[in-house]
Amino acid sequence: NKAAGMEMGLVREFVAQNNTSQIKHVIQILSQEFALSQHPHSRKGGLIGLAACSIALGKDSGLYLKELIEPVLTCFNDADSRLRYYACEALYNIVKVARGSVLPHFNVLFDGLSKLAADPDPNVKSGSELLDRLLKDIVTESNQFDLVGFIPLLRERIYSNNQYARQFIISWILVLESVPDINLLDYLPEILDGLFQILGDNSKEIRKMCEVALGEFLKEIKKNPPSVKFAEMANILVIHCQAADDLIQLTAMCWMREFIQLAGRVMLPYSSGILTAVLPCLSYDDRKKNIKEVANVCNQSLMKLVIPEDDEMDEAKQATAPPAEPASEEPVPEPEAASGGDSAGSIGGSVVEFSPATSERIQVTLNLDGIVQVLDCHLHDTSIGMMTRIAVLKWLYHLYIKTPRKMFRHTDSLFPILLRTLSDESDEVILKDLEVLAEIASSPAGQTEGHGPSETADPRPGQVELHIPGRNSQLSASGAKGLECSPSTPTMNSYFYKFMINLLKRFSSERKLLETRGAFIIRQLCLLLNAENIFHSMADILLREEDLKFASTMVHTLNTILLTSSELFQLRNQLKDLRTPESRNLFCCLYRSWCHNPVTTVSLCFLTQNYKHAYDLIQKFGDLEVTVDFLTEVDKLVQLIECPIFTYLRLQLLDMKNNPYLIKALYGLLMLLPQSSAFQLLSHRLQCVPNPELMQSADGSRASAGSKRSSASNIDYTELLQHFDKVQHKHLEARHQRAGRAEQLERRGVL
């Protein structure tokens, strides 16, 4: 202390004499021979001397700060905690005297303090906190802080894993944020990743401090969107939106929500990464309800940014557009990786100038390929939740509506997974899936010459599609009459027929799907698309189906839907009277396929009021193989006749004169049935027919009734009966072949 007093006296004398060289000489002796000495006591004396020297210099200490500070900072690394404390005390006195003059040396002071913040000795930590507060006061009251020079150091130190160092860093960020003359927001891309890392600290206090800091930044962003470098921070948020830590994920998701809403289309180039992060969150349960809700807003807001103009952007604009970010889920390994200047998706690394009101007009290219890749990947992932699958399908539908031309480039790759999604366990997922498929099948953007690429595209290696027949050679010459016109599809495109073929193929290979969801799927398609087109095309395809058993089952399913579903009301009315050429062509097309199932063929004749033809068909039933399944179907037809759908048929029983073949056909069904409950039901119905003796006049009125229907419809019923016989012959041969194979297998088993 005496030596320090002597040094102060000498220094004051030299100051009075303006003897700079002597002052530097004194400081050098205190530094080299004492503060940096090998002897602890000498180091202590040197530190006290340097502090005393600074006090003696007063305002002039700013001229010698480098010489005064450097030896003291060296002692911050001393092994002796007492000397580290004295060094802290000495630096406190030096800084207190110099005040604002220390700012040019701020980085070295900050560097030293950040190390002391994690010092194990409580006294040293206490001393460093006093010095820290003093330095913060100086920075707060000054307008000469070199933020540009400080940011690289802050960016480096923000990745420290030490709790005390993290607390120190956050406290400084909070201080710098509060200074009006310091615009830390400009450099937020440099430190945002580090802040999110700190947000995951084990200490509740540090997490809270970091939350406050991030909250302040977000407030500033909302106040002044035009100056925010949204693009440079987008990838950082994408990464942290996928964090395992709930607080990090929720905070990042909240930031993402604000970014999408504030920056608008500026965020479009990062859509694939955003969706990678957001989509899985939509299936979170109530434990992560907050994250799920924010993710949903992000998803909806992002979807609204896609506009029809995105479909019209030419390739030249695409070439000059900012590159899309990789949809990576890997964490940022280095601070530089999160740096805005090198961001893969940044727009020139510069501030995007726009006002929130006009942000939508910014020319930004939609990275459709990346988005579709992410959506396709999520559909293939069987582990994702129902709400995520629904969101993916909503996105696909939205893209087909807004950007159909570009989306159809991806249709051949998406088509197989969309078909597989029809087997989903959720009805809601299937509904959304059908909406997408219906849009694909009906969009004008999907129209190609003939059947274009959709006809030949193979959904997956190893899968064999059903053959699509040439539209000009649909039937042989003998079967062409009545089916000249293929499905009239003015609103359909080349994918429609492909869709119908593959849907039937899926029903064929996955019978459980047909049993549990077949009717549901077809009924929904009839709402989404043209019911006539669907039935016409399916009947046309089934006419060539080689698996006769499946064809019979499928026809039975279609017939049940046709006769019972409210969605098919208009189509039933169209078929009821066969007044137009279109309705007659449809009937002929359905009839030929319906022949795969004799009972459904009769029911189609009942629906279309072809009672004589129904009677002629039933007459042929005596030549068919009557099985239990066959009788069961007759039983179901009787039940169906009692339903509201056939009210008109039952009322026509009152007009025996004009409907004699209706009664004969019903009696024919009665004779086919064993004396079961269905037999009793139909028998009671026929007993209600008035004046049974009038049935005797049926032969006399046959010509008038038959000719009326024939002349009205111009349908060759003889040819239709011949077709029925051919189909039944094929079914008989197929049954015999199946029975033969079964017998052979049985014999092999016996042998």
Q: Is residue 256 within 8 Å of 241, Cβ to Cβ?
A: yes
Q: How many C-alpha atoms does 343 have within 13 Å on its Cβ side?
A: 30
Q: Is the pTM of this model over 0.85?
A: no
Compute the half-sphere exposure of residue 461: CA atoms within 13 Å on the CB side of its CA: 0
Distance CA 473, CA 450 (A): 14
Q: Give me 71's structure tokens.
A: 């030896």
Asked if residue 591 has pLDDT above 90, the reply is yes
Cα–Cα distance measured from residue 361 to residue 265, given in angstroms and rounded to the nearest whole number: 8
On whether the CB atoms of residues 94 and 137 are closer than 8 A, the answer is no
d(CA 569, CA 561): 10
DSSP H helices in 565-597 = 569-577, 581-594
SS (HEC) of 297-334: HHHHHHHHCCCHHHHCCCHHHHHHCCCCCCCCCCCCCC
User: Cβ distance 476 to 437 under 8 Å?
Assistant: no
Residue 738's H or E segment, with its range, is helix 717-750
Which residue has tokens 């359909």? 492
pLDDT class of 627 with cuts at 50, 70, 90: confident
Planar angle of CA 696, 701, 706, nearest 5 degrees: 130
What would the pLDDT profile of 59-68 be if each residue is shown by its tens digit? Answer: 889 899 999 9
Q: Would you state the pLDDT for residue 19? A: 61
What 8-state DSSP symbol labels residue 33?
A: I
Residue 614 confidence (pLDDT) above 60: yes
Q: Quick one: tokens of 454?
A: 């959709």
pLDDT in tens, 432-468: 999 999 999 998 888 754 333 333 333 333 333 333 3
Q: What is the DSSP letter of 102?
A: G
State the Cα–Cα distance between residues 532 and 366, nearest whole angstrom: 38
Query: What's the longest Cα–Cα distance across the chain?
Result: 147
For the stretch 129-140, pLDDT in tens is 999 999 999 999
What is the length of the chain? 751
End-to-end CA distance of the chain: 115
User: Cβ(596)–Cβ(552) under 8 Å?
Assistant: yes
Amino acid 351: pLDDT = 33
Instruction: Please answer whether residues 283 and 385 qualify as being in contact, where contact means their C-beta atoms are separated by less than 8 angstroms.
Output: yes
**Amino acid, res. 57:** L
As given in the structure block, the two tokens for residue 147 are 């933020």
Mean pLDDT of the residues in the chain? 84
* Average confidence (pLDDT) over 98-119: 93
Provide Rg for the chain, Cα atoms. Answer: 42
Contacts of 735 (CB under 8 A, 6+ apart): 625
pLDDT > 90: what percent of the chain? 65
| pLDDT at position 470 | 35
* 183 in Cβ contact with 176 (< 8 Å): no
Asked whether residue 87 carries a pLDDT value surpassing 70, the answer given is yes
pLDDT of 69 strictly over 50? yes
Q: For residue range 164-187, what is the model confidence (pLDDT) as tens digits? A: 999 999 999 999 999 988 999 999
User: Cβ distance 177 to 213 under 8 Å?
Assistant: yes
Instruction: Please return the burial class of 37, using the count of CB atoms within 10 Å of its CB with bins 0-12, 13-18 and 19+.
Output: middle
Q: Which of 100-104, 231-235, 353-357 has the lowest mean pLDDT?
A: 353-357
Query: Whose CA is closest to 355, among 190, 512, 224?
Result: 224
The tokens for 40 are: 């602890």
CA angle 112, 115, 116 (to 5 degrees): 90
When pLDDT is averaged across residues 379-392 and rounded to a whole number, the result is 95
